[in-house]
Amino acid sequence: MSGETEPPQLPAPGTLLVDSRERVGEFRGEWCGLWSLRPVTGGTEWTVNPEDVQPANPQQRLRAETARANARSRGEVL
């Protein structure tokens, strides 16, 4: 045993995750060991270390889904 931990398993695209700065984003993919997240209401993607994210809890998911629905109702580009 080398003491190294296995990298986290890739989530399905669109999975809601929370980064270490408490930002909720949709998982978009992996590139060079970093994960790409996108705000649920649209906007610029950001990258995070896989170790710095966790699945969104039910309250965070509800907030994100409500924000997405409100953005759509305002006609904002997603």
Per the CB < 8 A criterion, the answer to whether 40 and 16 are in contact is: yes
* Residue 4 in domain: no
Q: Does the pLDDT value for residue 1 go beyond 60?
A: no
* Residue 8 in domain: no
For the chain, the C-alpha Rg in angstroms (whole number) is 14
Helices (H), 1-78: 58-73
Per the CB < 8 A criterion, the answer to whether 47 and 29 are in contact is: no
- 21-71 pLDDT, tens digit per residue, is 999 999 999 999 999 999 998 889 999 999 999 999 999 999 999 999 998
* Residue 38 in domain: yes
- Sequence-distant (6+) residues with CB within 8 A of 65 are 40
Domain limits for position 36: 16-73
* Residue 33 in domain: yes
* Residue 78 in domain: no
pTM over 0.75: yes
- 4-13 pLDDT, tens digit per residue, is 666 678 999 9
Per the CB < 8 A criterion, the answer to whether 59 and 22 are in contact is: no
* Residue 10 in domain: no
Total structural domains within the chain: 1
